Amino acid sequence: MTSSTSVGVTDSVLELFPPGTTLGIFGELMIGGCVASDLASAFGTPALIIDESALRHRARRYADGLAARWPNSHVLWASKSLPHTAVYRVLSEEGLGIDVAGGGELFMALAAGADPKTLVLHGNAKTDDELTMAVQSGVGTIVVDGFDDIDRLERIVEGEQAVLVRVIPGVLPHTHAAIATGQDGSKFGLSAADARTAIKRLRGSDKLRLDGLHVHIGSQVVDREPFVRAIEAVAAMGEFAVYNLGGGLGARYTYDDRPPTIEEYLDMVTQAARRLLPSDARLLIEPGRSLIAEAGVTLYRVTTVKRGPRPLVAVDGGMSDNLEVSLYGQRFEATVVDRVGGGELCTLVGRHCESGDQLIDGVALREPQVGDIVAVPVTGAYCLTMANNYNGARRPPIVFVRDGVPRMVLRRESYEDLLRRDLD
């Protein structure tokens, strides 16, 4: 992952926040028209702030951009990046389908009113209960990840169920090993030889309708070439009616990151598809991180400052609301909300009893003090998804902001919530 030791200026910091983020008349950060410190006062910290307009705008860029380049297509949101009913609802309203990975995400998507026909169920270890739920709910497509999926579905399906076969393309992109999924030996999907066996078996099924193939190479991928190689791999499997080309496009987390834009990514994918795939095929893509990461900002309150060669600035959250740093070494940036940009290099740490609970090493903060509100941008994806109760932490709320109006769509956990499932 990218690191940066440069001191950012105000404009550079703002580039990492949702489009439309500005400074108010007193120089304070405003997200979605809301003053950041007012949000912290109203909803507490830590809190995940989602700029709804920014999210909707990115969804339209994906949906309209793909349709303009390949009319027979559909964008599916990879909902594991932030599974919550309000997000499902917003992206369904924007016309996106939903990629769900497991029964919980399926349950939430249906509760949000998503059309089950637009849902695609993934998973390398689907249970009988999850597949039964999917079939009974009318999920449009189930991705076959192995022969056991075929066995289970043959038992469960009574009518007809559309499926795709997930193919391992043998592509290892430049990303963290924990979020690479397309390399040989991956736990996801079938090797080319096994995929051909599965295809032959499915074509003989009277319950499972094989529509096509699925491929996915990983997450936070910022190079173009691996995506093209993955399309070449599925093209070598033959002609099908549907090709789900997955997602994986990286987000811009730091000053130094320069991932392809949505439009550059769509150009690359559709140009490769025109060269390699049937012209009448239906194309599906599954953006997750690149769709929602940049719409999110986490607000923290500084609780302790320890001076030294590099100041240690501790906040009231950490690895309970952002595991990306500990798990993947992901780099973030940050700023004090009323002294935006620049400052001395500090180490921003969390409140948990782990030395590894470090949010950002070497981040520029201007005169950090106890009580300050610190904003960390690009936290919409995979942060609250993996939130946990380490040290009894209460998982934070989600607050949507739009046109200066905030609304909480997920409340903060209470201490009583920590006991709610206890039986003794």
- Of the pLDDT bands very low, low, confident and very high (cuts 50, 70, 90), residue 174 is low
Domain membership of residue 4 (yes or no) is no
Domain membership of residue 75 (yes or no) is yes
- Of the pLDDT bands very low, low, confident and very high (cuts 50, 70, 90), residue 1 is very low
Lowest mean pLDDT among 93-102, 227-236, 283-292: 227-236
Is residue 220 pLDDT above 90, yes or no?
no
In a shared domain, residues 353 and 326: yes
**By the 8 A CB rule, do 218 and 175 touch?**
yes
Is residue 172 pLDDT above 80, yes or no?
no
Question: To the nearest whole percent, how much of the chain has pLDDT over 90?
Answer: 87
**Mean model confidence pLDDT for the chain:** 93
pLDDT tens digits for range 28-37: 999 999 999 9
Predicted local distance difference test score (pLDDT) of residue 370: 98
In a shared domain, residues 202 and 246: yes
Predicted local distance difference test score (pLDDT) of residue 6: 37
117, two tokens: 């026909």
In a shared domain, residues 308 and 282: no
Is residue 3 pLDDT above 70, yes or no?
no
Q: What is the dihedral of CA 401, 350, 376, 342, to 10 degrees?
A: 140
In a shared domain, residues 211 and 74: yes
Average pLDDT over residues 53-79: 98
Task: Tell me the CA distances in angstroms from 220 to 3, 23, 296, 378, one per residue in order.
Answer: 14, 29, 16, 12
Range of the domain at 81: 53-291
Domain membership of residue 1 (yes or no) is no
Is residue 395 pLDDT above 90, yes or no?
yes
Domain membership of residue 5 (yes or no) is no
**By the 8 A CB rule, do 69 and 89 touch?**
no
Q: Report angle CA 371, 47, 305 to the nearest 5 degrees.
A: 30
The residue among 291, 323, 358 that closes a domain is 291
Q: How many domains does the chain have?
A: 2
In a shared domain, residues 99 and 247: yes
If you ran DSSP here, which 8-state letter would residue 135 be given? H
What's 173's domain CATH number? Answer: 3.20.20.10
Predicted local distance difference test score (pLDDT) of residue 183: 77
In a shared domain, residues 132 and 162: yes
**By the 8 A CB rule, do 361 and 4 touch?**
no
Domain membership of residue 377 (yes or no) is yes
- Of the pLDDT bands very low, low, confident and very high (cuts 50, 70, 90), residue 7 is very low
Predicted local distance difference test score (pLDDT) of residue 178: 67
What's 306's domain CATH number? Answer: 2.40.37.10
Is residue 157 pLDDT above 70, yes or no?
yes
- Of the pLDDT bands very low, low, confident and very high (cuts 50, 70, 90), residue 5 is very low
Is residue 267 pLDDT above 60, yes or no?
yes
Question: To the nearest whole percent, how much of the chain has pLDDT over 70?
Answer: 95
Average pLDDT over residues 312-316: 98
pLDDT tens digits for range 141-152: 999 999 999 999
- Assign 3-class secondary structure to 42-80: HHCCCEEEEEHHHHHHHHHHHHHHHHHHCCCEEEEEEHH
Domain membership of residue 177 (yes or no) is yes
In a shared domain, residues 138 and 116: yes
Predicted local distance difference test score (pLDDT) of residue 32: 97
> CB neighbours of 312 closer than 8 A, spacing ≥ 6?
304, 305, 306, 346, 347, 349
In a shared domain, residues 28 and 85: no
- Of the pLDDT bands very low, low, confident and very high (cuts 50, 70, 90), residue 308 is confident
**By the 8 A CB rule, do 355 and 312 touch?**
no
In a shared domain, residues 237 and 346: no
In a shared domain, residues 304 and 338: yes
In a shared domain, residues 253 and 362: no
Domain membership of residue 384 (yes or no) is yes
Predicted local distance difference test score (pLDDT) of residue 223: 85
Is residue 280 pLDDT above 70, yes or no?
yes
Catalytic machinery residues: 353
Is residue 53 pLDDT above 70, yes or no?
yes
Average pLDDT over residues 50-74: 98
In a shared domain, residues 93 and 35: no
The residue among 248, 263, 291 that closes a domain is 291
The residue among 291, 308, 333 that closes a domain is 291
* pTM score above 0.75: yes
Is residue 8 pLDDT above 60, yes or no?
no
Predicted local distance difference test score (pLDDT) of residue 169: 87
Domain membership of residue 424 (yes or no) is no
